[in-house]
Amino acid sequence: MATRQTRALARTMMAPAVVLLLLWMIVPLGMTIYFSFQNYNLLNPAMQSFAGWFNYEFFVTDPAFVQSMVNTLLLVGGVLAITVIGGTLIALLLDQPMFGQGIVRILVISPFFVMPPVAALIWKNMLMHPGYGIFAHIARFFGISPIDWFAQVPLFAVILIVAWQWLPFATLILLTAMQSLSEEQLEASEMDGANAFNRFFYIILPHLARAITVVVLIQTIFLLAIFAEILVTTNGGPGYNSTNLTFLVYRTALLNYDIGGGSAGGVIAVILANIVAIFLMRAVGKNLDT
Amino acid sequence: MKNTPFLVGALTIALVGSASAQSLTIATVNNGDMIRMQELSSGFTDETGIELNWVVLEENTLRQRVTTDIATGGGQYDIMTIGNYEVPIWGRQGWLAPLDDLAEDADYNVDDLLPAIRGGLSVDGTLYAVPFYGESSMIMYRTDLLEEAGLEMPENPTWEFVAEAARAMTDRENDINGICLRGKAGWGENMALITSMANAFGGRWFDEDWNPQFDQPVWNEVLNFYVDLMNDAGPAGASSNGFNENLALFQQGRCGMWIDATVAASFVSNPDDSEVADMVGYAVAPDTGNDNRGNWLWSWNLGIPESSQQKDAAKQFLAWATSQEYTNLVAENEGWANVPPGTRTSLYENPDYIEAAPFAEITLDAINAADTVNPTVDPVPYVGGQFVAIPEFQGLGTTVGQLFSAALAGQSSVDDALSQAQSVAEREMRRGGYMN
Amino acid sequence: MARSVRPQTKIAFTVLAWLVGLILFFPILWAILTSFKTESEAIASPPVVLPSVWTLENYFDVQARSDYFKHFFNSVLISVGSTLIGLFIGVPAAWSMAFSPTKRTKDILMWMLSTKMMPAVGVVVPIYLLFRDWQLLDTVHGLTFVLTMINLPIIIWMLYTYFREIPVDILEAARMDGAELWKEIVYVLVPMAIPGIASTLLLNVILAWNEAFWTINLTAAQAAPLTAFISSFSSPQGLFWAKLSAASTLAIAPILLLGWFSQKQLVRGLTFGAVK
C-alpha cells in the first residue's frame, strides 16, 4: 500500500528529528568518550594528558561504586514498586462513584507539577526535618521519638520523595487504562458470580499489564537520572548510603572537577542504563507490538 | 504552528533587551550579609550609573557555577563571590584579575585589611580578591546554664573543659543539649569543625609527603572524642545539623554551647531572632592546652575573573562593597551589630561597633591568631586552617565528611570511618599525583 | 462508571478518596500555608496550622530580592518555546513512524528514548565548552535548544502512540477521494490528532518548566528561569522557611494552575499507548 513516494516522504519527515537527536547524542557522547581517556582536571588544566583506561579503572574502584549501583537499583525499584502498586490502588479508588471526583483527581495529580528541587526542599525541611518537620511533630504527639529520616533511612527517604512526585503519573495512566475496560466485561463477570477480588486479579490486572509496562519504561528513564532530590536532601550520605550512580558521577565531575573520571563515569552510566533499557525494551516491546 | 512567529519575536526581544548600558553581572551566595549588599547596591548604581545584575544562588550551586565558568573561561560573570579556599588556587592559575590598583589606591586603604585575611587572598604578594566578611571560630555559650551547672568559663577553655561542661549542662528532659556541633556532611560543614578540632588535638590531614594521616592514633582520638561528646550531650539527629540548624537550635535555647563561626555571634545576640539573646557568653575556641585553637579562618570575598570585559567597572564595585564607607552605610541602615565583620582593623577600633558587638574583641583575636600556614602542631605541606587549599579538597573533604557523618549517625564505627577515609584519601592523592 | 451503588458505599468511597487526595496534596498545601506565616511561626513547635495573621510580607521580601517576573517570563519562553519547536520536529517524525512503519521503526523509537540516558552531570563540562564557543551561555535560545533535545524523544513517543490509534481506514478513504497528502494531514489527521498533540504539549511544558539541572547550569543573569530563582532561597544562613515557601509557591503556582485547568486535555492523551 505504501508507495515508494510515500516512503521517501516518510523518511524526509523523520530526518530532522533523527539528525538532531543523532547530533545531540554523538557530540556530547563523543566529547565524553574523548575526555574519559584524558587526565583532565578542570582546576589544573595544564596537566592534561592521555590516560588510557586509568579513568575507568579509577571510577569502578571507587569505594562507593558498588554501593552506588545497588542504590541506583533500589531507588528505581523502590519508586517503581510504590508508584505501580500505589497507583493501581488509587486508580481503582478514583474509578469508584464518589462526590467531588474532579477535585480529588486534581489533588492527586498535583505533586507531578512540582519541580524536583522544590519537592525536595519541602519534604526535607517542612515534613522530614527531625526537629521542626510535621512528621516529627506527629511522632512526638504519639510519644514516639521522631525519625531522623536523612540520617537513619536516607535512601528510603529519597525514595519516598521521588515516589510522591511520580505517583500521579502512574495513577493517571493506570486510571485511563482502567476506564477503557469495557463495562460489559465487568458486568459479565459479575453475573458469573466473580467477587471483587477475582474481578481485580483475573480481569482488571491483566488489562492493566500494558499500562504498567509503559509506566515502568517511562519512569525508569527518568529515575535512572535522579539527582536533584539527593543533592538537596542527603548529598549522597551518610557514608555512601544514598549515593546513586548519577550522584557519584556528579561528585567526581563537579566536586572534584575530575573531568576525565567524571566522563568515564558518564560512559559507564550510559552503558549500564542501556543494559537496563534493553531488558526493558524486550519486555515492553512484546507488550506494545500488538 | 501559528504561534512560532510570536515566539521568535519574543525571543528576539528578550535577547536584544539585555544589551544596554554598562552593566555588571555579580554572582553571590544567599547569605544574609550578601542579600543586604544587594539591597543597598542601588546606592552604587545611583552614584556611578553602572547597572548590576545579581545572580544569587545557594552556596553549593554557586560554587559549582562559578568554578565551571571560570575554569572554562565562560565569561558569564564580572564579579564572583568566592571563599579564601578558591582565591589562592585560582589566583595561581591566572584566572583572577590582580587587584594591584586597588591595593595602591589610598582611599581604599588596603593596609586596614586584617593581615591574616589579606594574606589568604594574596599569591606571592599580589592581591586577587578583597574580603567582604571574615570569620574564625569561637565558643558561644549560655551564661545561665553554665552557672546552673556550677561552672565558670575559663579564659582559655580546653576541649576537656568543653566536654565536661557540655555533659553537665545537658538536660534531656527539658530538651537542652549541652553542646551543638556541626554534623552535616560537607567540606565546609562538618569537616570545617572536625578539621579545626584535629588541629587543636595535633592531628593533620597530610604529612610533608602528602601521606594521608587518618590512620594515626590522634585522628582516632579526635573522632571518638567528637562522637562520644555528641552522643552524650548533642541534639538528636546531629548528623543532619549544619550551621543553619545549629543556629536555629541555639536561638531557641536548645543548646548550652555552640562552637562555630564567629559570624554566628551577631545572629544569636540579635533579640529579634534569638530567644536567648541576653544570655549568651563568648569565649575563644578550645585548645588542648597547647594554645592551638584550630586556626579556623574563612572569608567570603569578591574577585574579578580574567574573562570579564569590564574589569574597571568591576573594581569600582569591589572598592565600594568592601570599603569603610559601605560599613558605615550598613550601620546607618541596620545598626552596628549587623555590619559585615572580620575584614578591617578600623572596625575593631570603632567604639560604636565595640559597644554594639560584645563579641568583637574575641572575633578579632581569633582571626588574628589563625595561622593557616602552620595550622597544627606538626608541619604540613598545605595551606589552610579548617580546610586544605588544594583543588581535590572539595570532593575529598565531602567524601570524608560523609564517612564521619555516618560515624556520628551510628551507621558505622569510628574505626571503619577512619580506615575508609584513609583509603579514599590515598586514592585521591595518587590520582592527583601528590604521592605514588 | 455508571454502576448503581448504595449511597453508603458511595460515601465510604468519597471519604477514602478525599483522604488519599488530601494526604498527597498535603506537602503542597503546607508550603502554601507556611508562605503566609511569619518566620517564627513557620518553625514553631507545636506547629501552627493556620497563620495567626495572614501576612504577604514573605512574598514582598522574595520579590524585592529577585525579580520574579523576569524569571517567570524566561520559564515561559523556554518551556513553551522548546515544546513548540519539539512539536514542529516531532509531529512529522511521529506521523511517518505511525503510518509508514518499517522494520526499524521500533528500534529507532527505542534509540531515541535511550538518548535520554546520558547523565547530565557527566556531560555538563563538554556542553559548557561548546556553549561558550557558540556564545550560547545564558541565552534563552541556547537553553530552549537543550530542552527541545531533552524532551524530543518523549514528544515523539507520545505522538507516535497516539497517532497509531487513529484508524488507518479513514486515511485510506481520504486517499481514495483523491486527497493530496497535505490535505490528508490538515483535514483528516490533524483534527483527530489534536487531543494527542494538546496532551503532548502540556506534558512537555510541565517537564521543561521543571527541568532543574541545565536551566541552572547554563544560565547566569539574563536567561535564568524559575529553577534558578528557587536556588537563591534554598539554604540560606538560618532557617527561613516562610520565605522559602513563598518562593516555592511562586515557582510552582503557574504550572500547577495550568495543570489543574487543563487536566482533562492532559489526561486524554497521556496514555503512551497504554490503552488499546
pLDDT, averaged across chain A:
86
Lowest mean pLDDT across A177-186, A272-281, B11-20: B11-20
Which residues are within 8 A (CB) of B397 and not within 5 positions of it... i.e. 6 or more apart?
Answer: B186, B187, B188, B191, B387, B388
pLDDT recorded at residue A253: 85
Among chain C residues, the shortest Cα distance to B29 is held by: C232
Closest partner CB to A214 (pick from C16, C116, C274) = C274
Whether the per-residue pLDDT at B380 is higher than 50: the answer is yes
The three cell numbers of residue A82 are 510504590
pLDDT for A1? 47
B390, B201 in Cβ contact below 8 A? Answer: no
Q: How confident is the model at residue B3 (pLDDT cuts 50, 70, 90)?
A: very low
Whether residues C53 and C157 share a domain: the answer is no
**pLDDT digit string, tens, across residues C42-84:** 888 788 888 888 999 999 988 988 889 999 999 999 999 999 9
Query: Mind listing the domains of chain B with CATH numbers?
Result: 22-128+298-356 (3.40.190.10), 137-296+378-431 (3.40.190.10)
Element (H, E) at C91: helix C68-99
d(CA B89, CA B70): 12
Residue C160 has pLDDT above 50, yes or no: yes
One-letter identity of residue B52: L
Range of the domain at C159: 67-269
Please identify, in words, the CATH class of the domain defined by A65-242.
mainly alpha
CA distances from A165 to A221, A278, B184, B229, C210 (A): 15, 25, 26, 39, 12
Q: How far is CA C27 from CA B61, B114, C34, C242, in A?
A: 24, 47, 10, 14
Out of C39, C59, C79, pick the residue that ends a domain: C59
CA distance C248 to C68: 11
> Is the pLDDT score of C114 beyond 50?
yes
Chain A residues within 8 A of C126 when measuring between CB atoms:
28, 31-32, 35, 263
In whole angstroms, give the CA distance from residue B408 to residue C52.
38
Same domain (yes/no): C196, C142: yes
Residue C244, domain member (yes or no):
yes
Nearest to C216 by CA among C120, C134, C115: C120
Q: Is C135 found in the same domain as C168?
A: yes
Residue C189 lies in a domain: yes
Task: Output the domain CATH number for residue C106.
Answer: 1.10.3720.10
The Cα A279–Cα A275 span in angstroms is: 7
- Report the pLDDT averaged over residues A112-129: 92
How far apart are the C-alpha atoms of A45 and C209, rounded to whole Å?
Answer: 35
Tell whether C245 and C180 lie within a shared domain: yes
Query: Does the residue C1 lie in any domain?
Result: no
| CA nearest to B67 within chain A | A43
Report yes or no: B389 and B395 within 8 Å, Cβ to Cβ.
Answer: no
DSSP B273-287: T-TTGGGEEEEEPPB
Which has more pLDDT, B79 or B432? B79
Where are the domains positioned within chain A?
65-242
Between these two residues, B414 and A4, which has the higher pLDDT value?
B414
Looking at the structure, do residues C29 and C72 belong to the same domain, yes or no?
Answer: no
Instruction: Tell me the torsion sign for CA atoms A198, A203, A205, A206.
Output: positive
Residues C54 and C174 in one domain: no
Q: Report the C-alpha gap between C235 and A121 in whole angstroms.
A: 9
Residue C248 near chain A (CB below 8 Å): yes
CB contacts < 8 A, B to C, total 113
* Residue at C274 is within a domain: no
* C89 and C55 share one domain: no
- In this predicted structure, the answer to whether residue A168 has a pLDDT above a threshold of 90 is yes
Name C131's Cβ contacts closer than 8 Å, sequence gap at least 6.
B74, C137, C142, C218
Burial of A15 (0-12, 13-18, 19+ CB in 10 A): middle
**In the block, residue with C-alpha cell 499489564:** A209
- Cβ neighbours of residue A6 closer than 8 Å, sequence gap 6 or more: C100, C181
Contact: B11, C84; criterion CB under 8 Å:
no
d(CA B199, CA B193): 10
- Cβ distance A290 to C259 less than 8 Å, yes or no, reads no
Residues of A with CB below 8 A from B237's CB? 130-131, 146, 148, 151
Is there a single domain that holds both residue C43 and residue C110?
Answer: no
Summarised one tens digit per residue, pLDDT across range A16-45 is 888 998 898 888 889 999 999 988 888 887
* Statement to judge: residues C42 and C71 lie in one domain: no
The cell numbers describing C151, all together, are 524532551
Phi, psi of A168 (to 5 degrees): -60, -40
The pLDDT tens digits for C176-192 are 776 676 777 777 777 88
Buried b (16+ CB within 10 A) or exposed e, A254-285: bbbbbbbbbbbbbbbbbebbeebbeebbeebb
Q: Give a yes or no: residue C75 inside a domain.
A: yes
Report the complex ipTM. 0.89
Region C121-144: mean pLDDT is 89
- Kindly tell me if the per-residue pLDDT of A277 is higher than 80: no
Q: Degrees (nearest 5) of the Cα angle B37, B40, B41?
A: 80
Q: Which helix (H) or strand (E) holds B137?
A: strand B137-142
Query: Nearest CB to C27: which of A21, A123, A175?
Result: A123
* Average pLDDT of span B89-116: 91
Cβ A116 vs Cβ A233: under 8 Å = no
User: Sign (positive/negative) of CA torsion A189, A195, A201, A202?
Assistant: negative
- Contact across the interface for A130 and B424, Cβ inside 8 Å: no
pLDDT of amino acid B19: 43
Q: What digits encode the pLDDT tens for the residues A196-227?
A: 788 888 888 888 888 898 888 889 888 988 98
Whether C107 and C150 map to the same domain: the answer is yes
Residue C118 lies in a domain: yes
Residue C232, min C-alpha distance to chain B (Å): 4
Instruction: Name chain A contacts of B70, Cβ cutoff 8 Å.
Output: none
pLDDT of residue C275: 65
Contact C236 B35 (CB under 8 A): yes
Assess whether C231 and C119 both reside in one domain: yes
Contact B104, B126 (CB under 8 A): no
Specify the pLDDT at position B106.
87
* Tens digit of each residue's pLDDT (9 = 90 or more) over B139-191: 999 999 999 999 999 999 999 999 999 999 999 888 899 999 999 888 988 99
- Tell me the pLDDT tens digit for each residue of C84-105: 999 999 988 988 888 888 888 8
CB B394 within 8 A of CB B426: no
Longest CA pairwise span in chain C (Å): 75
Average pLDDT over residues B388-412: 91
Domain end point (choices C36, C59, C82): C59
CB pair distance less than 8 Å for B394 and A256: yes
Q: Nearest to residue B319, comparing CAs of B31, B124, B50, B95?
A: B50
Considering the domain architecture, whether residues C51 and C73 belong to the same structural domain is answered as no
Cβ pair B193, B293 in contact under 8 A = no
Any domain includes C139: yes
**Mean pLDDT lowest among A36-50, A96-110, B117-131, B187-201:** A36-50
Residue C275 lies in a domain: no
| Virtual torsion, Cα C114, C117, C123, C129, nearest 10 deg | 40
Question: Does the structure show a pLDDT above 80 at A190?
Answer: no
pLDDT score, position B404: 95
Looking at the complex, report in whole angstroms how far the Cα of residue C92 sits from the nearest Cα belonging to chain A.
Answer: 5
Which of B235, B240, B401 is nearest residue A150 as measured by Cβ atoms? B240
What's the total number of domains in chain C? Answer: 2
